[in-house]
């Protein structure tokens, strides 16, 4: 397994931005029978979600989150050495979005800019990448921007996906410093690539038929340019892999569940993560949730949960375990220690 340890780098600050527009799952009578709506809400745990306007992209939310981080922590844009942009909903196929954000944020042209793309495990993988850069000689500060606007790639008549996904973005500043040791376990299983997929675009070329909405075998309506998720396949994958991965990081670090102050799951659905908590025999009071307010925001859900639910609770010395899992298939678990981490109040755009 890919087990990576870092010393003397860590998270200095984190912020988040969500759209102002709220959509409520109780209003989905056009999609779900009225007598099943409450059951659906209870199962997935999503009461409401944030959705961007048509002219707003993930990079716009990331820009706002980054500016908030800069302002709250008196960060000179010229002090950023590396800018990473994690998203599956980038502005364009070409060019990469990170250089665009470098220009908008006023960062130096000497800044290394890189796009990363991965599913709901994305933040954990990208955070490891940020730690790797920050560990290098000549790099002191890495800005990790993670944003998703899945409302643009999910059909509003998809009963599986539309009640689940929301939009949001976060900014995380990683620096050198006396942060102690951080550990990451990162894994992938490409045999499950079809579990979450947009079928048309590259391997399957876009044709006029790609844009036509069709009712599929599962009864959901979507086009070839919109997300398909095999919910049961993802559920079974997560049940098999996620608790085991958390136990592995306990073994690798010589820790026990009692040593953990916060366990932050990707906000997939509440039924699933509640099951993980019980299986691990972990204190549910130490498992924060924001899925009820923001839905599943894919790769950004782990840091969004931290900003939304822990902004006034994190304290120096806290051990935080992060768990992301999803499309790829891929899953990642990280254990980090908190020191002098400034969490900004969440903002809207």
**Strands 214-215, 221-222: pairing kind:** antiparallel
Report the alpha-carbon distance of residue 335 to residue 223 in Å, rounded.
Answer: 39
Report the alpha-carbon distance of residue 74 to residue 1 in Å, rounded.
Answer: 39
DSSP characters over 179-231: EEEEEEEEEE-GGGGGGEE--BTTTB---GGGGS-EE-TTS-EE-TTS-EE-H
Residue that is written with structure tokens 């931005």 in the block: 17
Q: Is 98 helix (H, G, I), strand (E, B) or coil?
A: helix
Angle at 142 between CA 136 and CA 143, to 5 degrees: 165
**Strands 82-86, 112-116: pairing kind:** parallel
List residues with catalytic annotation: 120, 266, 296
- Among the residues of the chain, which ranges form H helices? 34-44, 58-73, 97-105, 122-134, 231-253, 270-279, 291-294, 301-310
Written as six digits, the tokens of 232 are: 């049961």
Written as six digits, the tokens of 82 are: 């590396």
Report the alpha-carbon distance of residue 84 to residue 77 in Å, rounded.
Answer: 14
Report the alpha-carbon distance of residue 149 to residue 89 in Å, rounded.
Answer: 6
Angle at 17 between CA 14 and CA 18, to 5 degrees: 140
DSSP symbol at 346: P
Residue that is written with structure tokens 């953990």 in the block: 260
Report the alpha-carbon distance of residue 101 to residue 84 in Å, rounded.
Answer: 10
HSE-up of residue 272 (Cα within 13 Å, Cβ side): 26
């Amino acid at each position: 397994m890919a087990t990576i340890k870092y010393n003397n780098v860590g998270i200095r600050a984190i912020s988040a931005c969500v759209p102002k527009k709220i959509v409520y799952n109780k209003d989905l009578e056009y999609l779900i029978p009225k007598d099943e709506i409450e059951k659906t809400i209870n199962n997935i745990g999503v009461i409401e979600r944030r959705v961007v306007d048509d002219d707003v992209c993930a990079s716009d939310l990331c820009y706002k989150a980054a500016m908030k981080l800069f302002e709250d922590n008196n960060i000179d844009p010229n002090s950023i050495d590396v800018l990473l942009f994690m998203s599956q909903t980038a502005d364009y196929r070409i060019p990469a979005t990170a250089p665009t954000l470098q220009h908008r944020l006023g960062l130096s042209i000497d800044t290394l800019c890189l796009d990363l793309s991965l599913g709901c495990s994305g933040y954990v993988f990208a955070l490891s990448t940020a730690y790797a850069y920050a560990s290098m000689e000549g790099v002191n500060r890495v800005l990790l921007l993670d944003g998703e606007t899945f409302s643009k790639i999910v059909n509003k008549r998809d009963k599986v996906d539309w009640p689940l996904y929301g939009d949001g973005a976060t900014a995380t500043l990683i620096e050198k410093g006396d942060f102690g040791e951080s550990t990451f376990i990162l894994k992938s299983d490409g045999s499950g690539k079809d579990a979450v997929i947009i079928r048309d675009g590259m391997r399957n070329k876009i044709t006029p038929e790609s844009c036509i909405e069709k009712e599929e075998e599962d009864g959901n309506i979507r086009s070839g340019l919109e997300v398909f998720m095999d919910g049961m396949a993802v559920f079974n994958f997560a049940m098999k892999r996620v608790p085991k991965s958390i136990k592995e990081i306990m073994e690798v670090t010589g820790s026990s569940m009692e040593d953990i102050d916060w366990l932050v799951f990707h906000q997939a659905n509440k039924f699933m993560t509640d099951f993980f908590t019980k299986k691990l025999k972990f204190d549910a009071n130490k498992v924060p949730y924001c899925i009820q307010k923001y839905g599943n925001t894919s790769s950004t859900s782990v840091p969004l949960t931290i900003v939304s639910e822990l902004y006034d609770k994190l304290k120096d010395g806290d051990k935080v375990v992060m768990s992301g899992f999803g499309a790829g298939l891929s899953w990642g678990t990280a254990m980090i220690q908190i020191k002098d981490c400034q969490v900004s109040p969440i903002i809207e755009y």
